[in-house]
Amino acid sequence: MPCPVVPMRVNILVISNVIALPDIHLLSRNRGRSKSETTVSFLYNQIMERKMSPVRYIAYYRVSTAAQGRSGLGLEGQQAAVASYLATQHHELVGSFTEIESGRNSGRPQLTAALAQARRQKATVVIAKLDRLARSVAFISAIMESGVEFIAADMPAANRLTIQIMAVIAENEARMISERTKAALAAAKARGVVLGNRASVIAAQPMAREVIAKQADNHADNIIPTLKQIVKSGVRSVHVVAEQLNQRGVRTARGGQWHGTTILNLIRRRGFESLRELAQTV
Q: Which of 44, 35, 38, 37 is nearest to 15 (CA)?
A: 44
The rounded mean pLDDT for the chain is 76
CA dist 136 and 64 (Å) reads 13
Q: What is the pLDDT of residue 172?
A: 79
The percent of the chain in helix, strand and coil, each rounded to the nearest 5, is 60, 10, 30
Span 74-93, average pLDDT: 87
Helix (H) or strand (E) holding 28: helix 24-31
- Statement: 55-163 belongs to CATH 3.40.50.1390: yes
In sequence order, the 6+-apart residues with CB closer than 8 A to the CB of 137 are 167, 170, 171, 174
Higher pLDDT, 72 or 208: 208
Output DSSP code: residue 155.
B
Q: What is the pLDDT of residue 152?
A: 86
Q: Which of 55, 223, 63, 221 is nearest to 128 (CA)?
A: 63
* pLDDT tier for residue 6 given thresholds of 50, 70 and 90: very low
Does 106 have pLDDT greater than 70?
no
Residues 109, 60 contacting (CB under 8 angstroms) = no
Q: What is the pLDDT of residue 240?
A: 92
Does 57 have pLDDT greater than 90?
yes
Higher pLDDT, 132 or 281: 281
SS3 of 127, please? strand
Does 198 have pLDDT greater than 80?
no
Lowest mean pLDDT among 5-19, 90-104, 236-250: 5-19
* pLDDT tier for residue 120 given thresholds of 50, 70 and 90: very high
Span 138-161, average pLDDT: 79
Rg, the chain, Cα only: 26
Q: Where are the alpha helices (DSSP H) in 87-159?
A: 109-121, 130-134, 137-146
Quick one: what percent of the chain has pLDDT higher than 70? 69
Does 72 have pLDDT greater than 80?
no
Does 270 have pLDDT greater than 80?
yes
Q: Where are the domains of the chain?
A: 12-52, 55-163, 198-279
Lowest mean pLDDT among 45-49, 169-173, 220-224: 45-49
Span 253-263, average pLDDT: 88
* pLDDT tier for residue 21 given thresholds of 50, 70 and 90: very low
